[in-house]
Each structure stands twice: as C-alpha cells, then as structure tokens.
Amino acid sequence: MDFIWPSFLWGLCALPVLVLLYWWLMARRRRAAVRLASVAVVREALMGRGPGWRRHVPPLLLLMAIASMLLASARPVAQVSLPTTEQTIILAMDVSGSMRATDVEPNRLVASQVAAKAFLATLPRQVKVGIVAFAGTAQVVQPITLSREDLNAAIDKFQLQRATAIGSAIVVSLSELFPDHGIDLGRMTFSPRGDPFAPQGRAIGQTVIEKPFEPVEPGSYRSAAVILLTDGQRTTGVDTTEAAEMAAERGVRVYTVGVGTVEGEVIGFEGWSMRVRLDEDTLKDVARITQGSYFYAGSADSLKKVYESLGSRLSVQKKEVELSGMLALLGALLVVMSAGLSLWWFQRVA
C-alpha cells in the first residue's frame, strides 16, 4: 500500500499518547472512587460486579476510529483487480495469400477464424467489437457492434486476396475508433509525405471537419484496444512502424498475434510460389511502440490459448484505487458503534 500524502502518517504517533492518557485517567478515577465511595461499593467493584471489560470497549472503538481517519488523511492507494474500461476491441485480421499456408493446421486462415470466434465467446457481452480485414488494402468488414452473430458471420465470409498491408490495417482500425479525427487511409497512402491530414483536392463547396488532435501517452487510452493477427510480412500499404506510432499518439494499445512459423512454408498461387515466414520482429515492434503485447501462435491450439489470454487480459486489469473514502467511512462507523455501546451499557456517552 502506498500513500499520496505520507507525511500525514505522523499523526499516528498520537495514538500511544492517547492510550497512556486513557490509562492515566482510569487510574485517577479508581483512586477517587476509593476515597469517596463507601466500603460496600468498593467491595462490589473488587468482586467483579462493575462494568468490567465493557468499560474499555467504547474507548477502544474510538481509538480505532481515530486511527482509521488518520490513515484516510494520508490518502492510501492500493493495487486491485477491477473490470477493465476497454469496452471496444477492433480485430484486425490478415486475409492475404500467405494465410493459406498449412504450417498451422488446417491452414493459417481457418485456424485464425476458429480462434477468433472462440475469443468472441469469452468476451463479456457488454464489450463491443469491430472487424477489419486486410490484404493489399484494409477495410471494415463489420462495424463496431455488440452482436456476436454478426461478428461470426463476418469472419466466415473472409476471402483470400493478394499482398499484405499491415500498417493500413492499423490506420483503418484507428479511423473506426476515432471517426471524428479525420484519419483518411487514402490520404496517408497517396500523400507525398504520408501525412493523413495533408490537403487534397476536393469539390467546390466540400468541407472536411476534423477534430483537433493532441498526442497522449502511449497506452493511456483505456476505452479501446486493437488486436492484430497476421504473419507480419508487410508487402504494401502504409509503413507498419508509422501506423504503430499513430496508434501510440492516440494512446491505443495494439496487441499483436503472430500466426505461422518462423521457418515458414512454400505456397503456390495462380502459377507462382513463394516462402511465407512469420516476421516476429515487426509484430514485437508494433506491440512495444503502442505499449501492447506480442503473442506467438505457432499452432491452432496455441492460437486458441493466445486469444483466451487476451480475453483475460482485456477483462480484468490491475489499477490503483484510493482507499481514503473507505477508511473514512470505517472511522465514522466505529464512532457510531462506540457511542451506541456506551449509551446501551452505561446510559451515557463517555
């Protein structure tokens, strides 16, 4: 447990002083009773017919209340596990020709589809999900929704295409999460300097409203996350590192899942053949830049486990919670208990 204002803990040093003061008052009271009370009253006290241990309970509760309030004044914080605030997830899934490789049985694409559906089944129902499919370009195949049926249907309709635009998939995912940021994949692809906000030709009278954007700390945006599943071999589209930096500037974490094997496999398609390998370095860089995590999925079973771990990661998160309010409430309850027991047992608050 940590404290925001630890200097206030010095107030706890008063507790031993209060204990000593209480015992001094009790001793003084006993001496006065011996001097003033009759012999019969003293005899009853010595025989145990007096209040006994109950006399000390209200002061003890009051002392505990003071300690609780002093701790509250120091503003303690603790690490606790709470439901995450990441309520929107974008699944960016590779449908390029390399996903036909069979180093993950029955092939990379089918294994990723099965695992993605299993992942959706583990998510809390209140978490919204959108799906971006990418090959030579990227597009939203299922806008953000709560409907698991629509998401599963979109996953079933995947069709393999040529080329792999990993960076474009990240950019499209960001445009889906931040529709008012004016992120335009076309601008970013065809602008001379790759600037997504560079002025472009437009029809007379056409206006584009863009929300002013201020970069934030990487990983600080807790309302959404992107899960990127691919073999990591970019062949076209926006530069992957540049796209990852865009996500980092918006605080969005990108969790990358590498599907396939590092050794790869030779595949053929429409008369040509090539070796497709898992590019782990690229996926690790994306995760590092955005404060996300990289997961390796070399088989269908491990791919399912990766998605299960992502479900757990996105469902529960450790956060710092201030405990001042709870301690103050506890102190107030102890004060009420002290006063109530004193009135019940001795018909006075003392």
DSSP track, 294-309: EEEE-SHHHHHHHHHH
Most confident among 20-34, 43-57, 245-259, 328-342 (mean pLDDT): 245-259
Instruction: Tell me how far apart the alpha carbons of residues 346 and 235 are, in angstroms, rounded to a whole number.
Output: 85
pLDDT, greater one: 331 or 148: 148
Phi, psi of 226 (to 5 degrees): -115, 135
Tell me the DSSP string of 217-245. -TT---SEEEEEEE-----SSS-HHHHHH
ω into 199 cis (within 30 of 0): no
**Which of 30, 18, 83 minimizes the C-alpha distance to 55?**
30
Enumerate long-range contacts of 277-281, CB under 8 Å, 24 or more apart: 277/231, 277/233, 278/231, 278/232, 278/233, 279/231, 279/232, 279/233, 279/234, 280/232, 281/232
Residue-wise pLDDT tens digits, 95-147: 988 888 888 888 889 988 988 998 898 888 888 999 999 998 999 999 999 99
Q: Give the pLDDT band (50/70/90) at residue 291.
A: very high
**Which of 261, 219, 262 minimizes the C-alpha distance to 244?**
219
Instruction: Tell me how far apart the alpha carbons of residues 283 and 241 are, in angstroms, rounded to a whole number.
Output: 10
Q: Are 229 and 81 in contact (CB under 8 A)?
A: no
Instruction: Tell me how far apart the alpha carbons of residues 61 and 155 are, in angstroms, rounded to a whole number.
Output: 61
Tell me the DSSP string of 136-151. SSEEEEEEEES-HHHH
Q: Where are the beta strands (DSSP E) in the chain?
A: 2-3, 76-83, 88-94, 128-134, 138-145, 224-230, 253-259, 265-269, 272-276, 294-297, 316-322
Instruction: Tell me how far apart the alpha carbons of residues 120 and 307 are, in angstroms, rounded to a whole number.
Output: 9
Instruction: Tell me how far apart the alpha carbons of residues 140 and 169 are, in angstroms, rounded to a whole number.
Output: 9
Tell me the DSSP string of 307-338. HHHHHHHHHEEEEEEE-HHHHHHHHHHHHHHH
Report pLDDT for 346. 73
∠ at Cα 52 (46, 56), nearest 5°? 135
Question: Which residues have CB under 8 Å from 256's CB, separation 6+?
Answer: 228, 229, 230, 232, 283, 284, 286, 287, 292, 293, 294, 295
For residue 38, pLDDT over 70 is answered with: no
pLDDT, greater one: 309 or 234: 234
Strand order in the sheet with 316-322: 2-3, 76-83, 316-322
Instruction: Tell me how far apart the alpha carbons of residues 21 and 18 are, in angstroms, rounded to a whole number.
Output: 5
Least confident of 4-8, 42-46, 269-273: 42-46
Q: Are 170 and 254 in contact (CB under 8 A)?
A: yes
Q: Give the pLDDT band (50/70/90) at residue 201.
A: very low
Residue-wise pLDDT tens digits, 237-255: 899 999 999 999 999 999 9
